[in-house]
Structure formats: C-alpha cells, structure tokens
Amino acid sequence: MNYILLNDGNKMPSLGLGTFLLKPEEAEEAVYNALTNGYRLIDTANAYVNERAVGRGIKKSGVKREEIFLESKLWPTVYTKETAVDEMLERLDVDYVDLLLLHQPAGDYITGYKMMEKAVKEGKVKSIGLSNFEGEPLKKILEVCEIKPAVIQVEAHPYYPQNELKKVLKDYDIHIQAWYPLGHGDKSLLEEKVFSELGEKYGKTPAQIILKWHVQSGNIVIPGSKNKEHIKDNADIFDFELTDEEMDRINKLDKNTRYYIPNPELTASYAKMELNPEADV
C-alpha cells in the first residue's frame, strides 16, 4: 500500500474502502474483508448510517487500531452540536478518528469547522478536511481556518479530473480524495480503448488501470464494494507503473463532465435533514 504525506504531517493510504450505500451488515463484512486483504484506509460517514457496523468490522479483523486510517464525516445537522464528535466516536467504538470531514457545504459549516479544529486539539481527531466543498464555501473555510484542510473529497474520475480545483488546492498542499473514482460504473468510461489496451499490457482490468491513474495523479481513492473479490482486485494496483505517455493518454479523456450535478436548493436542505443513527444496528 502506498501512503501520502498530508499537509499536517500525518500519513494517509492512497487507496481505501468506501462504505457509501452499504447496509450495516454489508459494511461490517466489507470492512473485515478489506482489512484482512491489506487495506488500511476505511471511509464512512454519519449519513451512511453504518458507523457502528464499520467499528464492528474493524474489531472483527484483528488489525491493530493504530495501523488503520479511519475516516468519517459529520452531517450538517450536527455541525453546531457540541457532542457530535463524541457521539461519532461512540458509534465507531474508537478513541479517535484519523480524518474527519464536513460532509456538505450546508448549514453553519464555519462553526462546524471550528468544532473539528477543537477536536484535533483535544486528540479526538488527527486530520480534518471537507467533502463536496468547492467555490465560495471552500474559499470561506480557507479564509477563517486555523488548521488547513488536509483532504477534500469530491467527484473525480478521468472524465472529470478536477483540474481547476487542483490549481486552487496546490498552494495549500491539499489532496483530493475521489468519490465516483470509476465514473459511477459508467460503461462508456470503463470501455474506453486506452483502458483495455493498458489492461492487456499490464494484466489488469480497466478498473484497476483507472485506480492506478488516480493514485499516480496524487488522488486518494475509496472505491466501494461489498464483493470480496472486487475488494481484493481494487487494491491490486501497486505492482506496476503507468508511463508518462500512458498517463497523458488518460488525461486526454477529460470531458469536464460530472455524473452528479450539484443542486444548491438540495444542498441547502441538508441543514434540516435529520439522520436516524438508531438505524445503524
């Protein structure tokens, strides 16, 4: 597994398991399978309602807590709640998380960010960052933060490599963590000729070539799966290197096209969308 040095001095694996859309029983088993197959980064969130299951998967794996990079996200309805971080730690059954993100640019995210900075000082969180923050919300955080975001989690893939955002983040040494790293399962992306050709050359699948492109581009990736074999395959990308020419071929696929189009009205509604943590059993 490769590691990335974050701007706060902490190290983060460049590839991990995402648990978005996994039911609790699925998340527990996926986390166990990932950790016992060499993964060391696990991503979850309040909104996924599977934090308790993730915690169980970690315990079940037998991997030492200090070897695992655990990441979660706070939902906008708890950005101002003083006990939000403690409640998250209780659900995960851990003393700290390695990375904590604000999930959406909604509600009082300035107070939410200050709360995360406080959690860092208290030793409950090691690194902090943002999810889905771009444009003005990102600018506001960068203007007021005491601790710079270490990671920003956004949609990123060969059709939408986030080149403009990377230009903004470069001066702050902030890394992009990609969701939809494989293009939300879009066959047109996976079937691009360059991936089949490179897959044949290196003995890899198109998905593995795309994940390798992410890692060599400096992105952190968290492909999600509940399939044990897919989980193993997604991590089998560290025994080869794409050449500069091959990276350039993939870079030319950029269409500046998202799969998810941000909706300001929907995003604003997240500040009122209550979660039901009791559904995480």
Determine phi and psi for 105, rounding to 5 degrees.
-80, 65
* pLDDT (0 to 100) of residue 112: 98
pTM: 0.96
Integer Cα distance of 17 and 230 in angstroms? 11
* 10-43 burial code (b ≥16 CB/10 A, e <16): eebbbbbbbbeebebebbbbbbbbbbbbebbbbb
Task: Confirm whether 32 is a catalytic residue.
Answer: no
**Average model confidence (pLDDT) for the chain?**
96
Topology of the domain covering 13-270: TIM Barrel (3.20.20)
Per-residue confidence band for 279, with pLDDT thresholds at 50, 70 and 90 = confident
Q: Under 8 Å CB-to-CB from 271, ≥6 apart: which residues? A: 76, 77, 106, 107, 108
Contact 133, 174 (CB under 8 A): no
243: how many CB neighbours lie within 10 A of its CB? 10
Closest CA to 43 of 21, 25, 13, 70: 70
Name the token pair of 165. 């955002």
pLDDT tens digits for range 257-275: 999 988 999 999 999 998 8
The pair phi, psi for residue 141, each rounded to 5°, is: -65, -45
| pLDDT for res 77 | 96
| 160 — pLDDT class (breaks 50, 70, 90) | very high
Per-domain boundaries in the chain: 13-270
Q: Rounded CA gap, 109 and 75, in Å?
A: 10
CB 149 within 8 A of CB 137: no
Do 32 and 46 touch, CB atoms closer than 8 A? no
Catalytic residue selected from 32, 48, 160, 180: 48
pLDDT of residue 155: 97
pLDDT at 277: 74
How much is the average pLDDT of 133-152?
A: 97
**Residue 262: its pLDDT value, please?**
87
* 72 touches 97 (CB < 8 A): yes
CA 154/CA 220 separation, integer angstroms: 11
Mean pLDDT of 32-58: 97
